[in-house]
Structure formats: C-alpha cells, structure tokens
Amino acid sequence: METLSFTYEPLALTRIFLQKYVEDFVQGKFYKAKQFAMYDFLYQMSDEELETILGNYVSASGVEFITFNDWSAECAAIFEQICKTEKYTKLEFDHKCKGYGITGLGVVDKSDNTFYDCPRVGHWQKVLEIVEFKYPEKLKPLRHFWTFEKEIEHAGFTREEIEHFIMNNFRLIGGGKLLNEYLGD
C-alpha cells in the first residue's frame, strides 16, 4: 500500500472544521441572528484572532494539543470561546436588531445595548418588564402616566422626564407601533 505524504496549514484546517460545525450543528437549529453572526465572524476572523481564540480554548479546556479527533466537540468548545468575544456579541446583537432574533421582535435597552426578545404585540409589556427589573424607581410613575394621561407629575418625576427616559433608552425592533405611540399625546 502506497502512502501519500502531505502538509497542511493548521489555521486553514481549523477554519474548515469551524465552518463545517456551523453548517452541521447551528444552521437551521438556532435563531437566524446566531447563525448569521457565526458565519460573519468566521468570514471576518483574522489569523491573529483565531490564534487568540484557540489559545483561550486550550487554556479553558486544559488540552495540550488540538487534534480534532472529536472534531464536533472541539469545535463546540472553540465556539464557546468565540461567543464570549466582544466582536461576536456585537455581530449577534446587530442581527437581532435587524429582526433575526428568536421571534424577530424585541426591545433594545440602549443604556447597555441589551436585546430582549418579545412576542408579537409584546413590546410594551417587555419595556415595562425591563423598567421593573432595571429601573424600578421609574416603574410606578410610568404606569401612572400611562393610565392617567392628563397627569404631569407623580412620585417625584414629571411626565416629560419619564417620556424622555423611555424615548432615549429604548428602541423597538420589528413592531407595528412606534415607541412614542405607547406614551400618548
């Protein structure tokens, strides 16, 4: 039997395995923002970024060598490192903001660029949930102003302050109503 000798580029081979992993285990199995972000990350990833990610993977997993003997498990662990990067997080966030999240709908808290998925006709409820969780001091006046349209001050806040807060801190993704339509006149 004749043996064929060849050499390979480890980073190129790693890219092929990562691409195959996304095709086999991510595409069609997760929401589109995740799929698109993974493909975009792989397309944009420099060799230096890949080396850093592989170094993080080796440190986190305690392996001495990357062998790809169990390629899918190794790629899953490498993608855990990729998903922790700021670049990947931004790519996924951007795709969610384009309507490719779990439901295609959501609310962005612009104060920290957090995306919250929501169901159809669930934007305002999601805003209220975010305010309750992250800005509890504003929830009572927000509910009050929403219920009593003529009121201009409640619980130490003016209507203008609360409306300004809502308009400047939140963005609705994929809805049929603009944010200011929830606030009244």
pLDDT digit string, tens, across residues 25-59: 999 999 999 999 999 999 999 999 999 999 999 99
Query: Given a cut of 90, is residue 2 above it in pLDDT?
Result: no
pLDDT value, residue 185:
53
| 106 strand-pairing partners | 117, 173
- The whole model's pTM is what? 0.84
> Which residue has tokens 């203008």?
160
Sheet holding 170-173, edge to edge: 114-117, 106-109, 170-173
pLDDT in tens, 75-134: 999 999 999 999 999 999 999 999 999 999 999 999 999 999 999 889 999 999 999 999
Query: Given a cut of 70, is residue 184 above it in pLDDT?
Result: no
Q: How many residues does the chain have?
A: 185
